[in-house]
């Protein structure tokens, strides 16, 4: 009885944890039908544009002379934030990267005059999309920490950037990367199909284990808190139809990520970190199609990555979403050539 009481207290503590919103979930259907969805939840308007990057782009870690340098091995389609960071994307090999807020993040100290190379956190997701084809490949390389991840305040604010990174690939493998107390923690398993914000991923798993014993058709936690969204996403992603039909599976995954979204305009004086969903993306990793919708436009549109020229020296292309530009259906033809944005650094 005492153990049950202690467990109940722990669950209540996790449910009351105040955290930035965002949800990421991975669907696994038959015949390699892998789909990753995420919601982007933020208190204020977050300016997103969609970019297509070819192979062979020269990149910099943007932290001074000790910046890591690389050339993109793979082309990708990504969503940017304010055209200073990659928040979400899909590369031509079917690898998906998503960054979400994690207030517990604490990164190693970076010495600009030291020997260790550095990478700005705004390019973390892009570095992975540029360099890796699979989750296992990324884990095997990044576990040795080839660079120091360098964070800073969001420009124009007093908010220090604290993120964790999720990866999924076309085989259905998954990994979560978190920096806790200055140390990299990697959770790597095909089972890790859901991620939200706080608490840390290990605690999210413990909370979900508690709810797994309660039938989802009887009761599910229904608030906007990260812990509740984790439980709902975990239940619904396994409850929707298992099908290789793309139209049905994409619609089903969209329904799950919408269920885990925060209604537009929601705010709370007592819980300022619960934020409205600004946009959602759904990445079809088998067919290399990237779907996108925003809260302030009425339509969902998509990008077929296979129909772009991703060869080295090909053009960088941009779909400008400013002023609530509205697109519908396949939108490849609406992209315009554009100079790649520069990742914000220090």
Rounded to whole angstroms, how far apart are CA atoms 39 and 55?
27
User: Which are the contacts of 64, defined by CB distance < 8 A and separation ≥ 6?
Assistant: 112, 118, 345, 346
Structure tokens at 195: 């991620």
CB 74 within 8 A of CB 130: yes
Rounded to whole angstroms, how far apart are CA atoms 294 and 299?
8
CB 132 within 8 A of CB 173: no
Strand (E) positions, 8-135?
22-28, 34-41, 48-53, 58-60, 69-71, 76-81, 85-91, 96-101, 118-120
Q: Which residues are catalytic?
A: 22
Structure tokens at 151: 């964070």
Measured from the Cβ of residue 190, the count of other Cβ atoms closer than 10 Å reads: 15
Query: Quick one: which of 312, 249, 325, 281 has its CA closest to 78?
Result: 281
CB 204 within 8 A of CB 11: no
Three-state secondary-structure class, residue 238? helix
Three-state secondary-structure class, residue 225? coil
User: Which are the contacts of 170, defined by CB distance < 8 A and separation ≥ 6?
Assistant: 32, 34, 93, 94, 95, 134, 285, 286
Question: H-helix or E-strand containing 190?
Answer: none
Rounded to whole angstroms, how far apart are CA atoms 13 and 29?
34
Sheet with strand 277-284: strands edge to edge: 194-195, 22-28, 34-41, 277-284, 289-294, 301-304, 329-330
């Amino acid at each position: 009885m005492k153990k049950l009481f202690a467990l109940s207290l722990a669950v209540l503590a996790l449910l009351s944890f105040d955290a930035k919103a965002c949800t990421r979930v991975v669907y696994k259907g038959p015949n390699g039908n892998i789909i990753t969805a995420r919601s982007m939840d933020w208190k204020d308007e977050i300016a997103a544009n969609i970019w297509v990057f070819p192979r062979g782009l020269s990149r910099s870690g943007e932290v001074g002379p000790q910046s890591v340098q690389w050339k993109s091995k793979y082309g990708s389609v990504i969503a940017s934030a304010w055209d200073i960071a990659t928040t979400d994307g899909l590369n031509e090999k079917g690898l998906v990267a998503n960054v979400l807020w994690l207030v517990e993040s604490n990164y190693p100290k970076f010495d600009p005059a030291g020997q260790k190379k550095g990478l700005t956190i705004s390019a973390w997701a892009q570095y992975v999309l540029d360099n890796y084809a699979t989750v296992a490949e990324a884990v095997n390389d990044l576990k040795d920490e080839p660079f120091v991840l360098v964070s800073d305040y969001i420009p124009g604010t007093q908010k220090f950037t604290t993120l964790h990174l999720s990866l999924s690939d076309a085989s259905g493998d998954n990994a979560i990367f978190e920096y806790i107390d200055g140390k990299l923690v990697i959770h790597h398993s095909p089972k890790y199909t859901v991620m939200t914000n706080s608490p840390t991923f290990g605690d999210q798993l413990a909370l979900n284990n508690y709810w797994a014993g309660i039938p989802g058709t009887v009761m599910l936690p229904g608030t906007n808190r990260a812990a509740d969204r984790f439980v709902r996403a975990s239940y619904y992603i396994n409850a929707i139809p298992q099908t290789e039909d793309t139209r049905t599976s994409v619609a089903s995954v969209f329904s799950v990520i919408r269920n885990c979204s925060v209604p537009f305009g929601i705010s709370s004086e007592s819980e300022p970190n619960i934020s409205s969903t600004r946009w959602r993306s759904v990445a079809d990793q088998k067919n290399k199609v990237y779907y996108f919708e925003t809260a302030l436009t009425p339509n969902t549109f998509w990008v077929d990555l296979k129909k772009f020229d991703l060869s080295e020296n090909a053009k960088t292309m941009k779909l400008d979403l400013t002023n609530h530009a509205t697109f519908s259906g396949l939108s490849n033809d609406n992209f315009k050539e554009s100079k790649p944005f520069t990742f914000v650094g220090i």
